[in-house]
Amino acid sequence: MSAPVPVVTVDGPSGSGKGTISRALARRCGWHLLDSGALYRLVALSGLEHRLEPDDIEGHARLARAMAVGFEASTDEERICLDGRVVTDAIRTEAVGQCASRVAAWPQVRTALLERQRAFARAPGLVADGRDMGTVVFPQAPLKIFLTASLEERARRRYNQLKQKGSDASLSALSREIAERDERDVHRAAAPLIAARDAVVIDSSGLDVAAVLAQVIELGRQRALWA
């Protein structure tokens, strides 16, 4: 039997920087990347487009099983497709994020996405970014990171991101929305946001991307995942 594909899991709350760190790590190692939050966002967007009732659990689970998704990444651009259309920006709105957090609380939707997520583990390795990568989807991963940052810092990062894109944003509204999403992600019964027992917790408040990345690379080196 061939050796299992190595997986590094990066879990944490909204705005903790896990997307940025995961992308940078995958690029550095030449590994694949799973943005699992994007999958929940795709289910949410698909539900909105199909005009499903917000509480139609089975309908959303059906979409989660049936939707055709595509992730393409070049050096400077990433394209996410849903049923043949590019939806890279459409899934990033705060409204779709809130809706994703709601559908992600339903076990039927989580189960529908489980094998899809595991299929991303292909040689030479995978960096898996999400909320339950280390606890549920890849419990055998040899390196699990749980990235956190204070609510203020996370709201400020999101604010700066939106400003850079030219979007209008209010820091206090963002802070409220992130706190609301945290509350739901942490307290749901199915796969709540929690650090795996064997995860290394990194608080990125006050650290830049390079400093966090350096810590993760060192942890991988200690586990002989890379030289």
Residue numbers at the binding site for ligand DC (CB under 6 A): 14, 36-37, 40-41, 97, 100-101, 104, 130-132, 181, 185
Smallest distance from ligand DC to CB 70, Å: 17
Select the residue whose beta carbon is closest to ligand DC and give its number.
37
Q: What is the DSSP annotation of 179-204?
A: HHHHHHHHH-SSS-S---TTPEEEE-
Q: Which residue in the block uniquely carries the two structure tokens 């209010």?
A: 170
Q: How far is the CB of 104 from ligand DC (least distance, A)?
A: 3
Smallest distance from the beta carbon of 130 to ligand DC, in angstroms? 3
Q: Which is nearer to ligand DC, 153 or 185 (CB)?
A: 185
DSSP run (H or E) holding 155 = helix 151-164
Nearest to 181 by CA among 80, 109, 99, 123: 99
Q: Which is nearer to ligand DC, 29 or 99 (CB)?
A: 99
CA end-to-end span of the chain, whole Å? 24
CB nearer to ligand DC: pick between 180 and 198: 180
Those residues with Cβ within 8 angstroms of residue 188's Cβ, 6 or more apart along the chain or in another chain: 104, 105
Backbone phi, psi, residue 195, to 5°:
-75, 135
Q: In what order do the strands lie in the sheet with 7-11?
A: 32-35, 126-130, 7-11, 143-148, 200-203
- Closer residue to ligand DC, CB minimum distance, 31 or 120: 120
Q: Which is nearer to ligand DC, 184 or 226 (CB)?
A: 184
CB of 179 to ligand DC, least distance (A): 12
Q: Residue 153 CB, nearest distance to ligand DC (Å)?
A: 16
